[in-house]
Structure 1
Amino acid sequence: MTVTEAELDPKYQTLWKKALISAERKNWEYVVDQVLPIVTANVGFLDGRKLLRTAEGESVGNGKKFSFGLGGLKPSSKKEPVEAIADLEENTFRKDPFSLTANEQLFDLAMKIQYPDLASFALETIRMGHPENTKNMHKLAKHYLAINQPEKAADTYNAILKVNPRDIEAKQGEKDAAAMSSMNRGGWNSGNFNDAKKDATEAAELEMLSRQGMTQDQMEQFLAKTIEQYNADQTNILIVKRMSDLYERLGHLETALTFYDYALSLNPGDVALQRKVEDLRNKVQDLQIAEFEREIEANPDAPDIDDKRAQVAEIRRQRGMAVINEAKARVDRNPTDKNLRYELGQAYFEAGMYTEALPELQQAKSNPKMRIKAILLLGRCFERKNMNDLARTSFMEASKELLVMDATKKEVLYELANVSEKMGDRAGSLEALKEIYNADYGYRDVAKRVESSYS
């Protein structure tokens, strides 16, 4: 049911091209005016609807007021679903793109016309505007499972666990989604399902022995048995994971990481396994860095000292790129999720890739819940690029929007003071510092800097 640009009527193709130009120029009001007639006439033009919602989000993020979920018109029962969808676009989403009520109505209408991708979009829009609404995310995850998109379901359950790590249903849902993904990829039948049951029994035995305090000899015996099974069937993911686990328990972390990586290649959709690989890789790299740093400190004049420093820098670079690649993959799976855009921008920032971070953080600004964090990090990117005037503008923008002197506002004002000082604006710097001084005498070095200005 999805309509592509090439399938649009020529007049709408022309309008779409104009909208893309307006989007490049960030003329969001024009984008809304240009895309709205396209999507109301073409319910299946999902790319257009995504751009429209982005433009609406940018518009409401620039000072326009909108409700968090109380908006939305009740579609008339006399109207056909497609007509009701057009009504929502024209009368509600333009003012309140993240409305809970309206997006839930859009979900229901999309399912009525058997358009699950549009239904997904409706719930993803709620998720973008209300990233802590776990009820919506549960609905979204179940929807993804129902339409056989377990990878996206697993990502959604993972997002729930970030908000509420104790959510038992999300923990089980993530496992079920990963299992469903594995079955989809592996084409399971009754025969290998029985093999999997046997493997599961052995995994349970391993877990029981572990809880009882398995000795190193027992682990090594169990590992030897598992290696034999692996040699007989190297594509059995349960055997590979069990072998990885045993190597990790025995302290052979690099070998464990190698096999966890291989397990992930057998089932790339296993979100829990992805996290395990990331965590273990970080642990291995931490040990490598610590070892190199001990050697550097113990013998700073060693002939290979520069090589060791270079290796430490390379490990850190690789870690940063791994974080970036994972963040990019999450954005690719959910391109409308502004939280994920922020995480990608943050990953770029921490890797020193400030230019790459800018567009991600600019998109993240349209989510009201992420707006201040995104603006603050944008300012830091500008400052790192020595674009101090733009940095100051960002910090001032964030400061104006923060009405309460909380930890975030102090952080923003402190950054504003520092960049103002870099620009030679001592008066502006002191003004920002004094705001903090009046609220929190002990904040960083604020008292010293303010009081020294009077001497």
Structure 2
Amino acid sequence: MKRKPLSKVPIYAREAYNKALSSAVADPGYAMETLRDLVKSIPDFGVARDKLRELECNKAMRQNPLAKAFWVFLSVFTFPFIKLKAVKDPFAAMAMCEGPLAKCVDNPLILTALADAAEDADAAFASAEALSIIHRFHPNNDGNNRRLVEALQRNGQAREALKIFQDLAKKNPKDLGMQGELRSALALASIERGNWEEEGTTQSKSADSQAAVTQQLIDGTIHDADQAKVLIEKFTKDLEENDSMDIRRKLADAYMVAENYEAAINEMKIVAKKLGALDPALDKQIEKAYMMQLDQAIATLKADPDSYENAEAQIEDLEKEKLSYRLRKSEARSKAYPNDPNLHFDLGVCYFENGDYEPSLTEFEHAMRTHQKRVIGATYSAKALIRLNRAEEAIAMLEKEFETMSRLDRFRNDALYALGLAYEAVGRGGDALAKYREIAQKKPKFEDIAARIERLEAETK
């Protein structure tokens, strides 16, 4: 779900928003109530969310500390109901958060619940918004700051994410894993489309349709292939006057949307050559483009196999090439940056998916040295150990992780599932059933737990 601009919401919503704006100074209470109703009914109404949070933050900064503490205390009783509602209806859960936030927006527990529900609803903008407010009032909360970095990156705000991650890295100058993550954040910020500035004030108001579409796309995102072609034409012309890496990256992005993967790869390779040293983030983009090119070829063969010679054999070869290429690229990146835990994790996943479980364990061990990959690295390690008939080791590893794991960890369900698999492997069906049930309370459709619960319950009768 993307933010809706003012022009895309119903007329009644625009009128209500304008009334709230006009009364914000004289009657902020009425303005907040009006905006809150809009946000609850139209959660992707971007400017309404922005203004509501602005007013709520202003209120919280003047709020009596005892009143703040009182409302935060009461939210402890509301939080479980919000989490329960999020299982079946994350949008309704997001709406439920507005009540407690109206009392006091400086409420990390409810803001975290809002961020969780927003992620379930695929509303990255709302997740980033909630975590940003926590950061505003509690800038030294490193756990939230790490999660905020990821949320901002998912929301296309890599530059904002970089600023926060730089502050984190300054606190941990000897953490090699964090320094590796910082390099990735730097690369992502450099690749992300910036807010381009056009000379003069009339260009954005141009009646020319091509200029209008181009301005719209530069200010926002590329929506479809037809619109991407407009940017391809623009950036190609821009390169004639200014052969910059930034323009080539944007051109490659447009080619990706237009599904011209070969052209996208060519542009990214030119950028890579100019950079000289291997850029892991850019290299991953090249890999992604090549993989999509292979998927495109496979889809073509499957759609009309009779028109091609040995279509099934060609598909098989292309699938093998996908696995082989990913492995080659991952090994090269890990070799170039041996102290980067994220690259070790990527390589470990490649080994795991190829059935090479022993070498994957070594890579996951490296990855687990950084907090970001600690839980998911342990989860993959446990799955590899199970495949190697070493389930007892998997159980010991995950049980140790659960001693310190936050109940809000984004990979908690993955770890619970892996622990359940390990328990099953050693004949502890009852323990496995307990883990699957815990997952089902929040994510009833997670993996195949419904079938596993049904089977284990039948076995225990």
Q: Provide TM-score, normalisation by structure 1.
A: 0.45
Greater radius of gyration (CA) = 1
- With a CA cutoff of 8 Å and minimum separation of 6, indicate the structure with the bigger relative contact order: 1
